[in-house]
Structure 1
Amino acid sequence: MAGGSLVPAGVAKERAEEYQGRVTPYVIIACLVAAIGGSIFGYDLGISGGVASMDDFLHRFFYTVYKNEKHAHENNYCKYNNEGLAAFTSSLYLAGLVASLLASPVTRKCGRKRSIIYGGISFLIGAALNAGAINLAMLLLGRIMLGVGIGFGNQAVPLYLSEMAPAHLRGGLNMMFQLATTLGIFSANMINYGTNKIHPWGWRLSLGLAAAPACLMTVGGLLLPETPNSLIERGLEEEGRKVLEKIRGTPNVSAEFEDMVEASKLANSIKHPFRDILKKRNRPQLVMAIFMPMFQILTGINSILFYAPVLFRSMGFKGNAPLYSSALTGAVLASSTLVSMATVDRWGRRFLLIGGGIQMITCQTIVAIILGLKFGNNKELSKGFSVLVVVVMCLFVVAFGWSWGPLGWTVPSEIFPLETRSAGQSITVAVNLLFTFIIAQSFLGLLCAFKFGIFLFFAGWITVMTIFVYIFLPETKGVPIEEMILLWQKHWFWKKIVSENPEVEKNDE
């Protein structure tokens, strides 16, 4: 087995100090192009909630919701509670969940680049179906194709960024994915603001313009180089070394190349990565692949982002105010991601996750108190309290934007050894989309049942995840991706679980 018998997987020793190279324009451009894949996810998050609050769209596809919206004395928290409307939003995420698992063998055997291209094409088809939607069945089919695109894109892009980036800047470059996501959200919010004034087909334009990021993702994917890790894993060592030299700007890449070669030898000996990921030596990474994306969704951020117009309208905001408010939160999210990109490789992952968690708990609690005291059936928030709610929600979004938003993707994408990396990322995406589906499908019902307590519900989860990070997540800042496996042996808790001798573990199974 490559790497000897004294390490859990892949590499024989720590060579990080021997790594050479610099940040080249080539790697920056490659990461920028690849990160466009995040924009399709963001665009859908932003566009769905806005379209779901447009009267023309509701009148055509969800007439019951349209009528309830017009009832002046309807329960403010329950007027949008409709399973069909929830299915419009959440069907995409269920399709994405399945697609992300199918994307794992494609990403491993055919490369990260191929999955990015497939994702872009599928999302483009979904955009076309949604724009020409003449009935609910066609609309849902389009949503499913969008979901397939997101499943492939979210599976491949974070891996691509983590493998291309040098270790000391991996966090910041990986967060380009989240930055593209937030810019997609903001763009969608601004488009919704404009198309809401176009009657009766503005909603078609909103849905159809999803073709723009899909085209960028597809064309960008065709132009991208493959990652050296993927090339070496597929036996193209000479080509992989050439790409590595080009992205590092030096021919002196022997140490990093040797790590990749040793990791690839073990990767190629693993025929069933989903089975291998269940082994004891991979337990810490598996736990993170499940809990990090789950916790990211249980912050409640997706509910605020794709139901923002519905949420603000439920609170009594009139006219275009819901779209104004959601556009503001989208802009705040995009700008706060820049803060995380600038600090993550200096302050570390743990600091941002814990600090962001504390800020989000505070904001959710404040919103719950305001709504509990000042808002209810047949009541609307005063102008002053409405402004305060928007301000506090923006502070919540800021906290998410520099913590769990980008790091919920960054941490899982950088911790797996090569042999289980594609499978691990598929699990991350699948869990993310599963909980996105659950929250999307249940949020309107939870809002109706819990009322202002929905914000305390999410605050409770954020408390749990903040404690989880403090106890179980080691700092991954600056650790080379192929040597990440060695980190778990040094952690006070995981070193009790991770076997230091894979041969012994193999014989014991």
Structure 2
Amino acid sequence: MKGEQQKKGNSRTLAMMVACTAIGGTLQYGYNLAIMNAPTVYIQAFVNETFRERWGVELNVYEVTLIWTFIVSIFSLGGLVGALIAGPMSIRFGRKKTMLLSNIFLMSSAILGLTSRAAKSFEMILISRVLVGINAGISMNVQPMYFGESAPKHLRGAVSLSSAIFTAFGVVLGQVVGLREILGSEPCWHYLLASNALPGIFQLLTLPWFPESPRYLLIDRGDKEACFAALRRLRGCEVSPSEIEEMMQEQAESEGMRPRQPWELLRDRNVRWQVISVALISSAMQLCGNDSIYSFAYYVFQEAGIAPEAIQYITIGTGTCEFTACIISNLLIERQGRRVLLMGGYALMAGWAVVFTVALCFEHMVEWMPFLSMTCVFTYILSFGMGPAGVTGVLPTEIFNQTSRPAAYMIAGSLMWLNLFIVGMVFPFIVSGLGNFCFVPFCAVCFCTALYIGFFLPETKGKTLSDIAREFDQLNFGKQHQQNSSIQAQYKLGEVQHATAL
């Protein structure tokens, strides 16, 4: 009975650590995507008013749309910077401390957003979006790494996927807070821009009480006692011998190796297909167009024929769909595996994009077609949440070792944010230019990604890093090299078991 209570208590510790990290972490990504939709009209009017007062210039609709698009999309450039500095910061300061330090950018952003209206400066909003983007970029890279390195193998996927759940929850929260009845009104939009400081404050008050990543402590710092102490807090008084053996094996394989840089991974044939997989799937996560729907929901639903006054309430449904799907995915990931959820998610998205295109083409001929269009947007987001939203962030943790993991996240994060910026900049013009066929490019991305996953990505569920590496070696070198690697791995395993016994 006592052992059961102790196990339950330690499971609670892990769950609390996940919540405290994510509320001030990936929640910010979803939240800051969503809050920019509600004050669209008011900030556009503010920009136009600023130009009129300063230079006596009245901007036309195209110019206002361009500036507004840049305000929304510059968040992605900040995220790109955050992704690039996340790797070095996580190596130098550790995963937990990096998460805490990233709040410096968040608080600076909140202050600029809050005071931009009084200063009559839309440039302060731009800078604010860059800074909060840096915060989100760091969190999107370091948080999955922190979770993946802290969770036991049988919960690794579910714990890592919680990053996506909190991202989706951030979207819903941002959509609710952005309602006209709360902070999405003309007098309150600057408070809405500063409201992201509250989750950051919560993280600063709670996260210091939890341990650092056990793998970071053992492999990067070489502190075995601190590693085992962290494991005991997160697992129980007695740590599983198999988990210790796996960590010691990874430490032995990484011994004498310094943390690698992104360009070193790009040149290394040993991880060629790992890098290709992470790069393609991370890029597809944004090129599929899902996250742009949140920032530009007004344009999407307007094209679908929805009344403007109803759009703000309908957009809450989009975030709720992804949030629900991520929870379901969290329950399925350790049963169905990563590959099935990823491939199935992209295949379903491609199918719904086709239906959405057909619905847009016939919306003026059939009375109920706008409702089918709206349904397609919801199911598109639902399919995204079932796989790509969460599993994408899990992959670098599971297919790269400790010395390569930060660099892999830098590559994945940089591509994710760069593609989000590109799609964010062109999305309104895709909607206006392609009209009924605006989702055709996204359909092509989803279809090609599903094919790649089906043919080339191995399953990682329940496997050790060495097992996964051997499967990738079939792509990197062929079967002969795999046989040689298997012999070497068995020899190393024997050494590790001997060291563990000592």
Q: Alignment partner for residue 171 of structure 2, among 165, 185, 196?
A: 185
Select which of 224, 238, 246 maps to 1:259.
246
The TM-score with structure 1 as length reference comes to 0.84
> Residues 198 and 277 (structure 1 numbering): CA distance in 2 closer, same or farther, change over 3 Å?
closer
1:153 matched residue in structure 2: 139
1:279-308: CA deviations, max 9, x gaps?
111112211221111011122101212111
In structure 2, C-alpha distance between the alignment counterparts of 1:268 and 1:63, rounded to whole Å: 61
Match of 1:13 in 2: none
Partner of 1:249: 236
Contact 1:416/1:484, CA 8 A, preserved across alignment: no
- Paired with 1:96 and 1:59, the residues of 2 have a C-alpha distance of 26
> Aligned equivalents of 1:145 and 1:281: distance in 2?
36
Are positions 1:283 and 2:272 aligned together?
yes
Three-state SS of the structure 2 residue aligned to 1:48 is coil
Q: Distance in 2 between matches of 1:247 and 1:87?
A: 43
The reply on whether 1:398 has 2:382 as its aligned counterpart is: yes
* 1:38 corresponds to 2:21: no
* Cα pair 2:140 2:413 within 8 Å, conserved: yes
Q: Alpha carbons of 1:139 and 1:81: their partners in 2 closer, same or farther (altered >3 Å)?
A: closer
Work out the percentage of aligned pairs sharing the same amino acid: 22
Task: Describe the SS at the equivalent of 1:396.
Answer: helix
Question: 2-side partners of 1:142 and 1:162: how far apart?
Answer: 30
State the shift of 1:196 in Å: 7.2
Which residue pairs with 2:369 in the alignment? 385
Change (3 A) 1:370 1:499: same
Q: Counterparts of 1:495 and 1:348 in 2: how far apart (Å)?
A: 24
The CA deviation at 1:179 is: 0.6
Offset of residue 62 of structure 1: 4.5
Aligned to 1:90: 73
Give 1:82-481 correspondences, 5 Å limit: 82-133=65-116, 134-194=120-180, 199-232=185-218, 233-267=220-254, 269-271=256-258, 273-274=260-261, 275-276=264-265, 278-374=267-363, 384-481=368-465
How far apart, in 2, do the equivalents of 1:203 and 1:497 lie?
60
Partners of 1:482 and 1:442 lie apart in 2 by 42
8 Å Cα contact 2:39/2:185 also seen in 1: no
Task: Give the deviation of 1:472 after TM superposition.
Answer: 0.9
Change (3 A) 1:125 1:24: same
Q: CA deviation at 1:353?
A: 1.7
CA contact (8 A) 1:295 1:465 kept: yes
How many residues align? The count is: 468
1:329-365 Cα deviation digits (max 9, x unpaired) = 1111111111100101001112112222222112111
**Would you say the 8 A contact 1:95–1:144 is kept in 2?**
yes
Aligned CA RMSD, in angstroms, stands at: 3.0
Contact 1:131/1:208, CA 8 A, preserved across alignment = yes
Deviations 1:339-396 (A, max 9, x none): 1001010011121122222221121111111212335xxxxx9763222221121111
Counterpart secondary structure, 1:459: helix
Paired residues of 2:106 and 2:131 also in contact (CA < 8 A): yes
CA contact (8 A) 2:27 2:166 kept: yes
More off after superposition, 462-471 vs 276-285: 276-285
For 1:443 and 1:146, the matched residues in 2 are separated by 21
Query: CA–CA distance in 2 between the matches of 1:173 and 1:245?
Result: 17
SS at match of 1:193: coil
Q: For 1:444 and 1:500, how far apart are their aligned partners in 2? A: 53
| Cα deviation, residue 145, structure 1 | 0.8
- Between the aligned partners of 1:136 and 1:23, the Cα distance in structure 2 is 48
Counterpart-to-counterpart distance in 2, 1:277 and 1:136 = 39
Are the counterparts in 2 of residues 195 and 203 from structure 1 also a CA contact under 8 Å?
no
Alpha-carbon distance change, 230 to 364 in structure 1, aligned in 2, over 3 angstroms: same
